[in-house]
Structure 1
Amino acid sequence: MRMMKRLATVGALMLAPWVTMTAQADQASVDRLTHLLEPLKTYSADFKQQILDASGSSLQDTSGHMWLSRPGHFRWEVNDPYRQLVVSDGDDVTLYDPDLQQVTIQPLDDRVTHTPALLLSGSASQLADNYDVTRQQQGATETFTLVPQANDTLFEQLKLTFYSEKLDALQMTDSTGQRTAIDFDNAETNVSIDPAQFQFDIPEGADVVREQAPAAP
Protein backbone atom coordinates (compact mmCIF):
# COMPACT_ATOMS: atom_id res chain seq x y z
CA MET A 1 0.00 0.00 0.00
CA ARG A 2 3.03 2.31 -0.33
CA MET A 3 1.55 3.97 -3.41
CA MET A 4 -1.83 4.43 -1.76
CA LYS A 5 -0.04 6.19 1.09
CA ARG A 6 1.52 8.50 -1.47
CA LEU A 7 -1.96 9.36 -2.69
CA ALA A 8 -2.87 10.23 0.89
CA THR A 9 -0.30 13.04 0.85
CA VAL A 10 -2.90 15.46 -0.41
CA GLY A 11 -3.34 18.30 2.11
CA ALA A 12 -3.58 22.09 2.45
CA LEU A 13 -2.19 25.43 3.58
CA MET A 14 -2.40 26.03 7.34
CA LEU A 15 -3.86 29.34 8.41
CA ALA A 16 -1.57 31.65 10.37
CA PRO A 17 -1.79 30.95 14.13
CA TRP A 18 -2.56 34.59 14.98
CA VAL A 19 -5.77 34.67 12.97
CA THR A 20 -8.83 34.68 15.21
CA MET A 21 -11.79 32.88 13.73
CA THR A 22 -15.24 31.89 14.90
CA ALA A 23 -15.94 28.17 14.60
CA GLN A 24 -19.28 26.80 13.55
CA ALA A 25 -20.24 23.18 14.10
CA ASP A 26 -23.35 21.12 13.34
CA GLN A 27 -25.47 20.90 10.22
CA ALA A 28 -24.86 24.51 9.20
CA SER A 29 -21.20 23.70 8.46
CA VAL A 30 -22.16 20.68 6.36
CA ASP A 31 -24.75 22.72 4.47
CA ARG A 32 -22.24 25.46 3.72
CA LEU A 33 -19.57 23.02 2.51
CA THR A 34 -22.14 21.24 0.36
CA HIS A 35 -23.17 24.60 -1.09
CA LEU A 36 -19.55 25.24 -2.13
CA LEU A 37 -18.76 21.76 -3.45
CA GLU A 38 -21.95 20.75 -5.24
CA PRO A 39 -21.57 23.29 -8.10
CA LEU A 40 -17.98 22.10 -8.60
CA LYS A 41 -18.42 19.74 -11.55
CA THR A 42 -14.87 20.02 -12.91
CA TYR A 43 -11.68 21.49 -11.48
CA SER A 44 -8.22 21.93 -12.97
CA ALA A 45 -5.29 23.54 -11.16
CA ASP A 46 -1.54 23.61 -10.67
CA PHE A 47 -0.46 22.59 -7.19
CA LYS A 48 2.49 22.86 -4.85
CA GLN A 49 2.67 20.24 -2.12
CA GLN A 50 4.75 20.25 1.04
CA ILE A 51 5.07 17.47 3.60
CA LEU A 52 5.92 18.58 7.14
CA ASP A 53 6.85 16.48 10.16
CA ALA A 54 5.21 16.92 13.55
CA SER A 55 7.67 19.70 14.47
CA GLY A 56 6.94 21.64 11.27
CA SER A 57 10.17 20.80 9.46
CA SER A 58 9.86 20.26 5.71
CA LEU A 59 10.33 16.68 4.53
CA GLN A 60 9.42 16.97 0.86
CA ASP A 61 8.29 19.50 -1.75
CA THR A 62 6.55 18.51 -5.00
CA SER A 63 4.53 20.21 -7.71
CA GLY A 64 2.25 19.21 -10.55
CA HIS A 65 -1.28 19.48 -11.90
CA MET A 66 -4.64 17.99 -11.01
CA TRP A 67 -7.85 17.46 -12.96
CA LEU A 68 -11.20 16.51 -11.42
CA SER A 69 -14.55 15.65 -12.94
CA ARG A 70 -17.32 14.61 -10.61
CA PRO A 71 -18.44 12.05 -9.89
CA GLY A 72 -15.48 9.77 -9.42
CA HIS A 73 -13.02 10.99 -12.09
CA PHE A 74 -9.66 12.29 -10.97
CA ARG A 75 -6.10 12.77 -12.22
CA TRP A 76 -3.22 13.78 -9.94
CA GLU A 77 0.05 14.27 -11.81
CA VAL A 78 3.32 15.04 -10.01
CA ASN A 79 5.98 16.47 -12.31
CA ASP A 80 8.71 17.73 -9.97
CA PRO A 81 11.04 16.54 -8.50
CA TYR A 82 9.95 13.06 -9.62
CA ARG A 83 7.06 11.87 -11.75
CA GLN A 84 4.05 10.17 -10.22
CA LEU A 85 0.48 9.64 -11.41
CA VAL A 86 -2.87 8.76 -9.84
CA VAL A 87 -5.90 8.30 -12.11
CA SER A 88 -9.51 7.41 -11.29
CA ASP A 89 -11.89 6.51 -14.13
CA GLY A 90 -14.91 6.21 -11.83
CA ASP A 91 -14.51 2.44 -11.40
CA ASP A 92 -10.83 1.90 -10.54
CA VAL A 93 -7.99 3.94 -9.07
CA THR A 94 -4.68 3.46 -10.90
CA LEU A 95 -1.39 4.49 -9.32
CA TYR A 96 1.70 4.62 -11.51
CA ASP A 97 5.30 4.99 -10.39
CA PRO A 98 7.45 5.50 -13.51
CA ASP A 99 10.72 5.03 -11.60
CA LEU A 100 9.66 1.58 -10.42
CA GLN A 101 7.67 0.86 -13.60
CA GLN A 102 4.89 -0.30 -11.27
CA VAL A 103 1.13 0.07 -11.74
CA THR A 104 -1.26 -0.56 -8.85
CA ILE A 105 -4.98 -0.86 -9.63
CA GLN A 106 -7.62 -0.85 -6.90
CA PRO A 107 -11.42 -0.68 -7.16
CA LEU A 108 -12.90 2.68 -6.29
CA ASP A 109 -14.87 2.04 -3.12
CA ASP A 110 -15.90 3.95 -0.01
CA ARG A 111 -12.59 3.50 1.79
CA VAL A 112 -10.56 4.63 -1.21
CA THR A 113 -12.63 7.81 -1.39
CA HIS A 114 -11.60 8.53 2.19
CA THR A 115 -8.26 9.64 0.77
CA PRO A 116 -8.23 13.44 0.50
CA ALA A 117 -7.68 13.62 -3.26
CA LEU A 118 -10.58 11.40 -4.17
CA LEU A 119 -12.84 12.89 -1.52
CA LEU A 120 -13.29 15.91 -3.77
CA SER A 121 -14.51 13.75 -6.65
CA GLY A 122 -17.30 12.19 -4.60
CA SER A 123 -20.73 13.42 -3.59
CA ALA A 124 -20.75 16.45 -1.31
CA SER A 125 -24.14 15.38 0.04
CA GLN A 126 -22.55 12.29 1.65
CA LEU A 127 -20.11 14.28 3.77
CA ALA A 128 -22.36 14.33 6.83
CA ASP A 129 -22.55 10.52 6.74
CA ASN A 130 -18.77 10.08 6.85
CA TYR A 131 -17.26 13.14 8.53
CA ASP A 132 -17.73 15.48 11.45
CA VAL A 133 -17.52 18.94 9.88
CA THR A 134 -16.78 22.32 11.46
CA ARG A 135 -16.34 25.72 9.79
CA GLN A 136 -14.16 28.75 10.51
CA GLN A 137 -14.25 32.06 8.65
CA GLN A 138 -11.99 35.11 8.47
CA GLY A 139 -13.08 37.62 5.86
CA ALA A 140 -13.29 35.93 2.46
CA THR A 141 -11.43 32.85 3.74
CA GLU A 142 -13.47 29.85 4.91
CA THR A 143 -11.81 26.75 6.34
CA PHE A 144 -13.69 23.47 6.88
CA THR A 145 -12.24 20.83 9.18
CA LEU A 146 -13.31 17.25 8.41
CA VAL A 147 -12.72 14.47 10.93
CA PRO A 148 -13.50 10.96 9.61
CA GLN A 149 -16.03 8.97 11.59
CA ALA A 150 -14.48 5.68 10.46
CA ASN A 151 -11.27 4.31 11.97
CA ASP A 152 -9.70 2.95 8.76
CA THR A 153 -8.99 6.20 6.91
CA LEU A 154 -5.53 7.43 5.95
CA PHE A 155 -5.81 10.73 7.81
CA GLU A 156 -7.13 11.96 11.13
CA GLN A 157 -8.05 15.46 10.02
CA LEU A 158 -8.56 17.19 6.69
CA LYS A 159 -8.96 20.91 6.09
CA LEU A 160 -10.46 22.44 2.95
CA THR A 161 -9.80 26.15 2.50
CA PHE A 162 -11.85 28.33 0.18
CA TYR A 163 -11.10 31.94 -0.75
CA SER A 164 -14.01 33.93 -2.15
CA GLU A 165 -15.87 30.60 -2.48
CA LYS A 166 -13.09 29.08 -4.65
CA LEU A 167 -11.16 26.00 -3.52
CA ASP A 168 -7.73 27.32 -2.56
CA ALA A 169 -5.92 24.73 -0.44
CA LEU A 170 -6.03 21.40 1.37
CA GLN A 171 -4.30 20.18 4.50
CA MET A 172 -4.11 16.66 5.88
CA THR A 173 -2.84 15.52 9.29
CA ASP A 174 -2.16 11.85 9.99
CA SER A 175 -1.91 9.95 13.28
CA THR A 176 1.81 10.76 13.67
CA GLY A 177 1.24 14.51 13.43
CA GLN A 178 2.74 14.66 9.93
CA ARG A 179 1.03 17.28 7.79
CA THR A 180 0.69 17.50 4.04
CA ALA A 181 -0.10 20.96 2.70
CA ILE A 182 -1.16 21.82 -0.84
CA ASP A 183 -1.77 25.20 -2.43
CA PHE A 184 -3.67 25.44 -5.71
CA ASP A 185 -2.90 28.02 -8.39
CA ASN A 186 -4.22 28.89 -11.86
CA ALA A 187 -7.44 27.07 -11.00
CA GLU A 188 -10.26 26.68 -13.51
CA THR A 189 -13.70 25.47 -12.47
CA ASN A 190 -16.45 23.90 -14.55
CA VAL A 191 -14.44 23.92 -17.77
CA SER A 192 -14.42 21.16 -20.36
CA ILE A 193 -11.84 18.43 -19.60
CA ASP A 194 -10.90 15.78 -22.14
CA PRO A 195 -12.25 12.41 -20.87
CA ALA A 196 -8.92 10.86 -21.91
CA GLN A 197 -7.34 12.54 -18.89
CA PHE A 198 -9.15 9.98 -16.71
CA GLN A 199 -7.99 6.94 -18.65
CA PHE A 200 -4.66 5.18 -18.16
CA ASP A 201 -2.91 2.96 -20.67
CA ILE A 202 -0.57 0.52 -18.93
CA PRO A 203 2.97 0.97 -20.28
CA GLU A 204 4.52 -2.06 -21.94
CA GLY A 205 6.69 -3.99 -19.51
CA ALA A 206 5.25 -2.41 -16.37
CA ASP A 207 4.68 -4.54 -13.28
CA VAL A 208 0.93 -4.59 -12.59
CA VAL A 209 -0.53 -5.23 -9.14
CA ARG A 210 -4.31 -5.60 -8.88
CA GLU A 211 -5.72 -5.19 -5.40
CA GLN A 212 -9.13 -6.29 -4.22
CA ALA A 213 -11.58 -3.93 -2.57
CA PRO A 214 -11.15 -3.89 1.23
CA ALA A 215 -13.52 -6.23 3.03
CA ALA A 216 -16.45 -4.60 4.75
CA PRO A 217 -15.96 -4.31 8.53
Structure 2
Amino acid sequence: MKSLTMICALIVGIFAGGVRAEQGADEQLIALLQGFEQLQGGFVQTQYGPDEEAAVATSRGTFRLLKPRYFSWRIEDPDRQLVLADGEFIWHHDLDLETVTRRPLSSQDAVSPLQVLGGDTDILRSDFDISVTGKGRFRLQPTAGNPGFRELTLIFSDSTVSGMEIVDNLGQRLFIELVDVQTTPVLRPADFNFTPPAGADLFFHDQ
Protein backbone atom coordinates (compact mmCIF):
# COMPACT_ATOMS: atom_id res chain seq x y z
CA MET A 1 0.00 0.00 0.00
CA LYS A 2 2.98 2.32 0.54
CA SER A 3 3.90 2.04 -3.13
CA LEU A 4 0.26 2.70 -4.05
CA THR A 5 0.30 5.91 -2.00
CA MET A 6 3.34 7.11 -3.88
CA ILE A 7 1.78 6.15 -7.20
CA CYS A 8 -1.41 8.06 -6.37
CA ALA A 9 0.69 11.00 -5.33
CA LEU A 10 2.27 11.14 -8.75
CA ILE A 11 -0.80 10.58 -10.89
CA VAL A 12 -1.62 13.47 -13.29
CA GLY A 13 1.71 15.05 -13.87
CA ILE A 14 2.19 16.44 -17.38
CA PHE A 15 2.10 20.11 -18.31
CA ALA A 16 2.66 22.52 -21.15
CA GLY A 17 2.70 26.32 -21.46
CA GLY A 18 4.85 29.43 -21.51
CA VAL A 19 6.31 31.51 -18.69
CA ARG A 20 7.89 34.94 -18.41
CA ALA A 21 11.40 35.26 -17.06
CA GLU A 22 10.43 37.99 -14.61
CA GLN A 23 7.84 35.83 -12.85
CA GLY A 24 8.52 34.22 -9.49
CA ALA A 25 8.88 30.45 -9.30
CA ASP A 26 5.32 29.97 -8.06
CA GLU A 27 3.78 32.04 -10.85
CA GLN A 28 5.94 30.32 -13.45
CA LEU A 29 4.71 26.93 -12.26
CA ILE A 30 1.08 28.08 -12.12
CA ALA A 31 1.34 29.31 -15.71
CA LEU A 32 2.64 25.91 -16.79
CA LEU A 33 -0.11 24.08 -14.93
CA GLN A 34 -2.75 26.19 -16.64
CA GLY A 35 -1.43 25.25 -20.08
CA PHE A 36 -3.38 22.03 -20.50
CA GLU A 37 -6.82 20.51 -20.00
CA GLN A 38 -6.24 16.87 -20.94
CA LEU A 39 -3.33 14.62 -21.77
CA GLN A 40 -2.09 11.05 -21.94
CA GLY A 41 1.12 9.07 -22.34
CA GLY A 42 3.32 6.42 -20.79
CA PHE A 43 5.61 6.30 -17.77
CA VAL A 44 8.54 4.43 -16.28
CA GLN A 45 8.81 4.81 -12.50
CA THR A 46 11.78 3.78 -10.39
CA GLN A 47 11.77 3.64 -6.61
CA TYR A 48 14.96 4.09 -4.57
CA GLY A 49 15.64 3.43 -0.91
CA PRO A 50 17.01 5.99 1.56
CA ASP A 51 20.62 5.05 0.72
CA GLU A 52 20.06 5.80 -3.02
CA GLU A 53 22.57 3.06 -3.91
CA ALA A 54 20.27 0.95 -6.05
CA ALA A 55 16.73 0.89 -7.38
CA VAL A 56 14.25 -0.98 -5.19
CA ALA A 57 11.60 -1.44 -7.87
CA THR A 58 10.77 -0.37 -11.42
CA SER A 59 7.37 -0.39 -13.11
CA ARG A 60 5.85 0.76 -16.39
CA GLY A 61 2.44 1.77 -17.61
CA THR A 62 0.18 4.42 -19.12
CA PHE A 63 -1.75 7.42 -17.82
CA ARG A 64 -4.60 9.71 -18.83
CA LEU A 65 -5.80 13.01 -17.35
CA LEU A 66 -8.87 15.17 -17.89
CA LYS A 67 -9.18 18.26 -15.71
CA PRO A 68 -10.37 18.83 -13.12
CA ARG A 69 -11.34 15.49 -11.50
CA TYR A 70 -10.53 12.60 -13.83
CA PHE A 71 -7.39 10.52 -14.12
CA SER A 72 -6.18 7.00 -14.82
CA TRP A 73 -2.79 5.55 -13.82
CA ARG A 74 -2.35 1.99 -15.08
CA ILE A 75 0.68 -0.13 -14.13
CA GLU A 76 1.19 -2.90 -16.65
CA ASP A 77 4.58 -4.34 -15.63
CA PRO A 78 5.74 -6.09 -13.49
CA ASP A 79 2.35 -6.34 -11.77
CA ARG A 80 -1.01 -5.04 -12.97
CA GLN A 81 -2.74 -2.25 -11.07
CA LEU A 82 -5.11 0.57 -11.91
CA VAL A 83 -5.70 3.78 -9.97
CA LEU A 84 -8.60 5.75 -11.42
CA ALA A 85 -10.62 8.82 -10.48
CA ASP A 86 -14.07 8.99 -12.08
CA GLY A 87 -15.00 12.45 -10.77
CA GLU A 88 -16.62 11.10 -7.59
CA PHE A 89 -14.46 8.22 -6.34
CA ILE A 90 -10.86 7.03 -6.46
CA TRP A 91 -10.68 3.37 -7.38
CA HIS A 92 -7.73 1.03 -6.91
CA HIS A 93 -7.97 -2.23 -8.82
CA ASP A 94 -5.29 -4.84 -8.22
CA LEU A 95 -5.79 -7.10 -11.20
CA ASP A 96 -3.49 -9.84 -9.93
CA LEU A 97 -5.00 -10.02 -6.43
CA GLU A 98 -8.53 -9.40 -7.81
CA THR A 99 -9.31 -6.69 -5.24
CA VAL A 100 -11.04 -3.32 -5.69
CA THR A 101 -10.85 -0.45 -3.20
CA ARG A 102 -13.01 2.68 -3.44
CA ARG A 103 -12.70 6.01 -1.60
CA PRO A 104 -14.52 9.32 -2.14
CA LEU A 105 -12.45 11.72 -4.20
CA SER A 106 -13.43 14.60 -1.89
CA SER A 107 -12.64 12.78 1.35
CA GLN A 108 -8.97 13.64 1.46
CA ASP A 109 -8.57 16.27 4.18
CA ALA A 110 -4.80 16.58 3.71
CA VAL A 111 -3.06 18.56 1.02
CA SER A 112 -2.28 15.95 -1.61
CA PRO A 113 0.20 15.88 -4.50
CA LEU A 114 -2.82 15.29 -6.73
CA GLN A 115 -4.14 18.74 -5.83
CA VAL A 116 -0.71 20.22 -6.46
CA LEU A 117 -0.20 18.55 -9.82
CA GLY A 118 -3.76 19.27 -10.83
CA GLY A 119 -2.99 22.98 -10.66
CA ASP A 120 -4.81 24.12 -7.51
CA THR A 121 -3.39 27.65 -7.50
CA ASP A 122 -4.62 28.53 -3.99
CA ILE A 123 -2.80 25.53 -2.50
CA LEU A 124 0.33 26.20 -4.54
CA ARG A 125 0.52 29.77 -3.26
CA SER A 126 -0.37 29.12 0.37
CA ASP A 127 0.98 25.68 1.27
CA PHE A 128 4.27 25.29 -0.60
CA ASP A 129 7.68 26.87 -0.90
CA ILE A 130 8.42 26.72 -4.65
CA SER A 131 11.88 27.26 -6.09
CA VAL A 132 13.68 26.79 -9.39
CA THR A 133 16.63 24.44 -8.82
CA GLY A 134 17.89 24.24 -12.39
CA LYS A 135 16.79 24.61 -15.97
CA GLY A 136 13.22 23.33 -16.16
CA ARG A 137 13.22 22.07 -12.53
CA PHE A 138 10.66 23.21 -9.93
CA ARG A 139 11.00 22.02 -6.35
CA LEU A 140 7.95 22.13 -4.06
CA GLN A 141 8.42 21.81 -0.31
CA PRO A 142 5.31 21.71 1.92
CA THR A 143 4.89 24.51 4.44
CA ALA A 144 1.36 23.60 5.57
CA GLY A 145 -1.11 20.75 5.49
CA ASN A 146 -0.19 17.10 5.86
CA PRO A 147 1.03 15.78 2.50
CA GLY A 148 2.56 12.35 2.19
CA PHE A 149 5.82 13.71 0.83
CA ARG A 150 8.77 15.79 1.94
CA GLU A 151 9.69 17.20 -1.45
CA LEU A 152 8.28 17.15 -4.99
CA THR A 153 10.21 18.14 -8.11
CA LEU A 154 8.71 18.70 -11.55
CA ILE A 155 11.11 18.46 -14.47
CA PHE A 156 10.29 20.21 -17.75
CA SER A 157 11.82 19.88 -21.19
CA ASP A 158 10.80 22.29 -23.96
CA SER A 159 7.91 23.56 -21.79
CA THR A 160 6.49 20.08 -21.33
CA VAL A 161 7.02 18.04 -18.19
CA SER A 162 9.32 15.10 -18.81
CA GLY A 163 9.78 13.74 -15.32
CA MET A 164 8.85 13.95 -11.65
CA GLU A 165 10.62 13.13 -8.42
CA ILE A 166 9.04 12.68 -5.02
CA VAL A 167 10.82 12.14 -1.71
CA ASP A 168 8.51 10.68 0.92
CA ASN A 169 8.60 11.31 4.66
CA LEU A 170 10.89 8.30 5.17
CA GLY A 171 13.46 9.57 2.69
CA GLN A 172 12.60 7.17 -0.12
CA ARG A 173 12.68 8.64 -3.62
CA LEU A 174 10.47 7.82 -6.60
CA PHE A 175 11.50 9.03 -10.06
CA ILE A 176 9.01 8.96 -12.92
CA GLU A 177 10.00 9.41 -16.55
CA LEU A 178 7.08 10.45 -18.76
CA VAL A 179 7.15 9.26 -22.37
CA ASP A 180 5.09 9.76 -25.54
CA VAL A 181 3.17 12.61 -23.91
CA GLN A 182 0.17 13.94 -25.85
CA THR A 183 -1.25 17.25 -24.64
CA THR A 184 -4.28 17.31 -26.94
CA PRO A 185 -5.95 13.89 -26.76
CA VAL A 186 -9.71 13.60 -27.15
CA LEU A 187 -10.87 12.49 -23.70
CA ARG A 188 -14.34 12.56 -22.10
CA PRO A 189 -15.58 11.90 -18.56
CA ALA A 190 -17.09 8.64 -19.83
CA ASP A 191 -13.58 7.42 -20.62
CA PHE A 192 -12.98 7.23 -16.86
CA ASN A 193 -15.98 5.10 -15.93
CA PHE A 194 -15.14 2.04 -13.86
CA THR A 195 -17.19 -1.03 -12.98
CA PRO A 196 -15.68 -3.62 -10.59
CA PRO A 197 -15.23 -6.94 -12.36
CA ALA A 198 -17.36 -9.87 -11.28
CA GLY A 199 -15.77 -11.94 -8.55
CA ALA A 200 -13.42 -9.24 -7.25
CA ASP A 201 -13.20 -8.59 -3.49
CA LEU A 202 -14.67 -5.13 -2.83
CA PHE A 203 -13.59 -2.70 -0.11
CA PHE A 204 -15.69 0.48 -0.07
CA HIS A 205 -14.48 3.07 2.43
CA ASP A 206 -17.39 5.44 1.89
CA GLN A 207 -20.12 3.23 3.36
Common fold by TM > 0.5: yes
User: Post-superposition shift, 1:44?
Assistant: 0.7
Structure 1 counterpart of 2:31: 35
Distance in 2 between residues matched to 1:6 and 1:156, nearest whole Å: 12
**Paired residue for 2:74?**
77
Q: How does 1:82-121 map to 2 (within 5 A)?
A: 82-109=79-106, 111=108, 114-117=111-114, 119-121=116-118
Q: Pick closer, same or farther for the CA change 1:122–1:200 going to 2, 3 Å.
A: farther
- For the 8 Å contact 1:42–1:193, the answer to whether it is kept is yes
Structure 2 residue 196 is matched with structure 1 residue 199:
no
Match in the other structure for 1:21 = none
What TM-score, normalized by structure 2, do the two folds share?
0.83
Matches within 5 A, 1:45-194: 45-56=41-52, 57-109=54-106, 111=108, 114-117=111-114, 119-138=116-135, 142-194=136-188
Are residues 184 and 113 of structure 1, via their aligned partners in 2, closer, same or farther at CA, if it must alter by over 3 Å? Answer: farther
Instruction: Give distance in 2, aligned partners of 1:9 and 1:177.
Output: 15
Deviation at 1:197, TM superposition (A): 3.0
CA contact (8 A) 1:10 1:180 kept: no
Residue 169 of structure 1 and its aligned partner are, at CA, apart by 0.7
Q: Quick one: distance in 2 between partners of 1:105 and 1:204?
A: 15
CA distance, structure 1, for counterparts of residue 110 and residue 157 of structure 2: 24
Q: Which runs of 5+ in 2 are unaligned?
A: 12-22
One-letter amino acid of the counterpart of residue 179, structure 1: R
The code of the aligned residue for 1:132 comes to D
Cα distance in 1, alignment partners of residues 40 and 115 from structure 2: 14
CA distance in structure 1 between the partners assigned to 2:152 and 2:106 by the alignment = 19
Q: Does the CA contact (< 8 Å) of 1:48 and 1:63 recur in 2?
A: yes
Runs (5+) with no aligned partner, structure 1: 12-26
Indicate how the Cα distance of structure 1 residues 46 and 117 shifts in structure 2: closer, same or farther if over 3 A, else same.
farther
Retained in 2: the 8 A contact 1:7–1:117? no
Structure 2 residue 204 is matched with structure 1 residue 210: yes
Q: CA RMSD in A?
A: 2.5
Q: Is the 8 A contact 2:8 2:83 kept in 1?
A: no
The one-character-per-residue Cα deviations of 1:4-42 (angstroms, maximum 9, x if unpaired) are 52534639xxxxxxxxxxxxxxx8111100110102111
Q: Aligned residue pairs: how many?
A: 195
